[in-house]
Amino acid sequence: MEVKELGHIVLYVRDLEVSRGFYRDVLGWKEIAGIEHQMAMFSSGRTHHELLLIEVGPNAAPIPTGRRVGLYHFGLKVGTTDEELREALRALEEAGANVVGTADHGVTHSLYITDPDGNEIELYIDVQPEAWRQDPKAILAPTRALRL
């Protein structure tokens, strides 16, 4: 067997309407299907769905803080230039999104945010796709402060 690509992500959320608004209105994903108070599916158009949100209610246990097993973050490519990343940052700030960090990884420039349930999301641009294609170890370069 060989994995060809990451197909989709499924997240449990406390309040589907809040999360639906975040992923649709703040991040700009197109909602393709949904059932009120149950689930919502989103796609960028690459495949049938890339994100599925399932409502679990307000009493669901929160994501534990600190070092833990499980999802750390997922990454979403938002463009190919620093200007596109600056535009994304402006839009996030205008929407009141929780920006928790930035990073220059050498091959990517990244913003880190959290969704309404505390899931961390990396929004990035590929700075030098040829560098990591020619030398996959280029992704191991030390992280530096991002200057946007």
Domain shared by 26 and 88, yes or no: no
CATH number where 144 lies: 3.10.180.10
User: Is 68 a member of any domain?
Assistant: no
Residues 53 and 114 in one domain: no
Comparing CA positions, the residue from 53, 69, 70 lying closest to residue 116 is 53
pLDDT at 133: 82
Domain extent for 17: 1-58
Same domain? 50 vs 78:
no
State the average pLDDT over residues 25-54.
96
Average pLDDT over residues 73-90: 96
Taking only the tens place, the pLDDT of each residue in 112-137 is 999 999 999 999 999 877 778 888 88
User: In angstroms, rounded to a whole number, what is the distance separating the alpha carbons of residues 38 and 92?
Assistant: 26
User: 53 and 87: one domain?
Assistant: no
Q: Is 95 left (phi over 0), alpha (psi -120 to 50) or beta?
A: alpha
